[in-house]
Amino acid sequence: MANTLTRMQQIRMILQAHSQGQKIRAIARTVGLDRNTVRTYLRRCLAYEADTQALLLLSDEALSGIAYEPIAEKAVDGRLADFEQRLPGWLIELGKTGVTRQLLWQEYRQYQGQRLWLRPIL
């Protein structure tokens, strides 16, 4: 199809429109992508290089390496490890009569509140 844009042309249009000061919603309408997709491409590209004009001068291969680069995973949260450690015990507790998810959640929240007070203030 003659009128369909390739991804790299869309990314270049996103960068060019951003450098002109257009808002993400307007860029998304112009390019024909979802605004969260536009936001993702902008984050990836601008994290690599703050100057959009320098990004526009890159070759398609270099720009695709930046635009399609996976975003680094977030640091592991200690609460998730604590939650996963407690999960087998909670499953056993849920099998008992009178134990509800609400009750387990309230106990967990109370425990979390106590832990916050025990942390040293830096």
If asked whether residues 60 and 83 sit together in one domain, one would say no
pLDDT at 122 over 80: no
pLDDT at 10 over 50: yes
Note whether 66 and 55 are within 8 A (CB). yes
If asked whether residues 92 and 58 sit together in one domain, one would say no
Boundaries of domain holding 97: 78-118
If asked whether residues 60 and 82 sit together in one domain, one would say no
If asked whether residues 53 and 85 sit together in one domain, one would say no
pLDDT in tens, 68-107: 776 566 666 677 888 888 889 999 999 999 999 999 888 8
Determine the distance from the C-alpha atom of residue 86 to the mean position of all C-alpha atoms in its chain, rounded to a whole number.
26
State residue 66's pLDDT score: 80
Identify whether 1 is part of a domain: no
Q: Measured between alpha carbons, how far is residue 116 from residues 77, 86, 91, 113, 122 in Å? A: 15, 18, 25, 5, 13
Q: Quick count: other Cβ atoms within 10 Å of Cβ 31?
A: 20
Helix orientation angle between 60-67 and 35-48, rounded to the nearest 10 degrees = 110
pLDDT in tens, 14-68: 999 998 999 999 999 999 889 998 998 888 888 877 778 888 888 888 888 887 7
pTM of the model: 0.53
